[in-house]
Structure 1
Amino acid sequence: MQTHTVSIIVSDLETHPGLPRMLQSVSRQSIGLEDMEIVIIGNGSHPSSALSTWKAITGIDAVRLFTADQNANVAVARNAAAETTESDLLLFLRPDYRLDPKYMTTAFAVFEDHPNTDLMYADYIRLAPRNDRNARPGMIQLPSYRDELLQTRGFLGPAVIMTHTAWESTQGFREHSMYQDWDMWVQAALAGNEFYHVSYPLASCEHRKVSFRERAEDGRSKAMIVINNQGFFHMHTVRWALAYLRGESWSEAFGFMTIPGPMDVTRMLHDHAMKTMGTDIMAKKAIHQFDQTAINSAF
């Protein structure tokens, strides 16, 4: 099997306690360690002994610390770190992600057997945090790739590996959005890259609660994905995004982490027109009168 050089880029700006376990999952890969480099992104808060500790955990000498600016956010830091790599494949991870021991074996096989593949994603396992009794662990089975799915949800999950060429076809991670990964995948799709789905759980990540800030900024972040990648979306969805950012009353945030499709936008416009003309109240009255007539006629 042909091997590839791989750069694993891990954002650890807030020194996540799960980083050692993530690195341990990398060390357990059945192949590819000798062709791999790991780039840990920090902001100066890691101890001086961190680098030697990471090398000891992974058994890899090609581990380095990329120190980002103090004020840099995750998107800017990941872009800057990626620019320092020259590997065939790029894998962006969070410290709470874990890789299955067969992750690299599978990835190398996919890129060898399907040479047109630019991005590979796989099913994954969602882990329940120890301090949250309401969350339940489970395997997340993802569908085969279709543009229509990515236009609605950022469904690809953790541990999406991409070719360096695919990375270069995008503008990198955009910083003014909560959904930086989703936006990146849309950029890749818009540039004509091919996606490949592996129907086996090759990664895991922790289930985390959604913050109030994330819910509050959901609509704007989705609208920005659409505005920044207009060629990937239907004109009605683009109209929704522009209207939402302008604060027009008919344009709703829609379902959490879900971008409205053309029929959803049409429904929003219809409902708004009904309310504006007052016909929604008239319709309710007519239904109520019909119900009363039906009840009375039964006796």
Structure 2
Amino acid sequence: MKPNTVSIIISDLETHSSLMRLLHSISRQSTGLEDMEIIVIGNGRHAPSDPSLWRNVTGIDAIRLEEIDSSITSSAAKNMAAIRANGDKLIFLHPDYRLDPKYITTALSVFDDHPETDIMYSDYIRLAPTDKTGRPGIIQLPAFREGLLQARGFLGPAVLLTRKAWESTLGFRENTAYSDWDLWVQAALAGNNFYHVNYPLASCEHHKVSFKERAEDGRCKAMIVINNQGFFHEHIVRWALSYLRGKSWAEAYSFMTIPGPIDVTRMMHDHAIKTMGVDVMTKKAVQQFDHAVTNTKVAL
């Protein structure tokens, strides 16, 4: 491990067409190129000449391709790449991300000025989608609070963490599609310090949510809770277990949002009311009242 070296790990298992644009954004960093290495994770689809081309684009010699067997999952591949990385700071990127020219300069300043920092995240820009399904704009993120992370995986793209923070976790888990969110929860549970930069240091493309993503949302959120039970209120843990067991009262809740203790209590209350038939009785009482009022008016 080399001190003050940033290892950029890019998962390109599907050879995304945006990879070159990401590498170009890295090459435009105002400083820090000499203290940087880039690891591109591939599964055999890249040409042997690609690393040479990447070096020409970025101006960085420390760039290499890590070939991963096609049977290995994305989470396992990123974990393997992190183990093989040389830097004491890690950043995991997708090919459709971009880095602001001041990203590395700002990151190094944060860790110099706030040495207690373990994980840095920043505001970001959501790029205009190609299918016109969403709006571009700056996404301003809040300062870190555990309560926010318990509800949403809000840290955005281009999160940078120290080697120490990485080693305090079990890495990216394979039992949830929200593996980034799960990793941040692991880091918070381990006591790491988060620092928010109030400036858009990264950008990413906006994608339309697929039917599969919506269908698996509840299970993936429940697995985050089960994986990290000490981070969540006991009511939320009960919700996660009940959802995975198919209990009728445990709803998936809002997309990409884990219900809070009050939300879980409300779910249980509403289900109990429906089970006892009180909701039907209430509707009948209201109907009878309305009918009585109407008859009274007619009589008058």
Q: Same fold (TM over 0.5)?
A: yes
Q: Which residue in the other structure is 2:25 paired with?
A: 25
CA distance, structure 2, for counterparts of residue 234 and residue 142 of structure 1: 24
Equivalent position of 1:95 in the other structure: 95
Identify if the C-alpha distance between structure 1 residues 143 and 295 changes in structure 2 by more than 3 Å, giving closer, same or farther: farther
Residue by residue over 1:77-113, the C-alpha shift from the partner in whole angstroms, topping out at 9 and shown as x without a partner, is 0000000023121000000000000011111111111
* 1:48 Cα deviation after fit: 1.1
Give, as a single letter, the amino acid of the residue that structure 2 aligns with 1:149. L
**Distance change (3 Å), C-alpha of 1:295 and 1:100:** farther
Q: Measured at CA, do residues 289 and 199 of structure 1 come closer, stay the same or move farther in structure 2, by a change above 3 Å? A: farther
Which structure 2 residue ranges, 5 or more long, are not aligned? none
Q: Which amino acid aligns with 2:269?
A: H
Q: Is the 8 A contact 1:13 1:74 kept in 2?
A: yes
Alignment of 1:194-273 (within 5 A): 194-273=193-272
Going from structure 1 to structure 2, the CA distance change for 1:253 and 1:33 (only over 3 Å counts) comes to: same
How many pairs does the alignment contain?
A: 296
* Aligned residue runs from structure 1 range 1-299, under 5 A: 4-130=4-130, 132-293=131-292
Report the CA distance between 1:248 and its aligned residue.
0.8
8 Å CA contact 1:86–1:164 kept in 2: the answer is no
Same amino acid, percent of matched pairs:
68
Letter aligned with residue 38 of structure 1 = I
Say whether the 8 Å CA contact 1:40–1:66 is kept in structure 2: yes
4+ residue runs over 6 A deviation: none
- Cα pair distance change 1:248/1:50, threshold 3 Å: same
CA deviations over 1:27-57 (Å, ceiling 9, x no partner): 0001110000000000011011111111111
CA spacing shift, 1:38–1:295, aligned 2, 3 Å: farther
Shift, 1:212, TM fit: 1.0
Give the 3 Å change call, closer, same or farther, for CA 267–30 of structure 1 in structure 2. Answer: same
* Contact kept? 2:75, 2:179, Cα under 8 Å: yes
Q: What amino acid is aligned across from residue 145 of structure 1 in structure 2? A: F
Moved more, 119-128 or 278-287: 278-287
Q: Structure 1 pair 298/204, CA: closer, same or farther in 2 (3 Å)?
A: farther
Report if the CA contact (8 A) 2:118-2:165 is conserved. Answer: yes
Amino acid in structure 2 at the alignment position of 1:236: H
- More divergent stretch after superposition (10-19 vs 64-73): 64-73
Distance (Å, rounded) in 1 between the aligned partners of 2:105 and 2:198: 15
Amino acid at match of 2:181: W
Q: TM-score, normalised by structure 2?
A: 0.96
- RMSD between superposed Cα atoms in Å: 1.3
Alpha-carbon distance in 1 for matches of 2:295, 2:121: 61
Q: Which amino acid aligns with 2:63?
A: V
Shift of residue 175 of structure 1?
Answer: 1.0
**Helix, strand or coil for the counterpart of 1:34?**
helix
3-state SS of paired residue (2:125)? strand
Shift of 1:292: 4.4
Distance 1:53 1:272, change over 3 A: same
Q: Retained in 2: the 8 A contact 1:43–1:69?
A: yes
Amino acid at match of 1:208: H
AA partner of residue 12 (structure 2): D
Partner of 1:9: helix, strand, or coil?
Answer: strand
Residue type of the partner of 2:99?
L
TM-score (norm 1): 0.96
Match of 2:195, as an amino acid? Y
- Describe the shift of the 1:59–1:294 C-alpha distance in structure 2 as closer, same or farther (beyond 3 A): farther
SS at match of 2:238: helix
Q: Quickly say closer, same or farther: Cα 1:244–1:55, change in 2 above 3 A.
A: same
1:250-280 Cα shifts (integer Å, max 9, x gaps): 1111111010110010001001100110001
* 1:221 shift after superposition: 0.4
Q: 1:273 to 1:17 in 2, by over 3 A?
A: same
What is the SS of the residue equivalent to 2:281?
A: helix
For 1:196 and 1:52, the matched residues in 2 are separated by 35
1:14 corresponds to which letter in structure 2? E
Structure 1 gap ranges (5+):
none
Q: Structure 2: which amino acid aligns with 1:181?
A: D
Q: Secondary structure at the match of 2:4?
A: coil
Q: 1:83 to 1:283 in 2, by over 3 A?
A: same
The 1:195/1:276 distance shift into structure 2, 3 A limit, reads same
For 2:151 and 2:217, how far apart are their aligned partners in 1?
A: 13
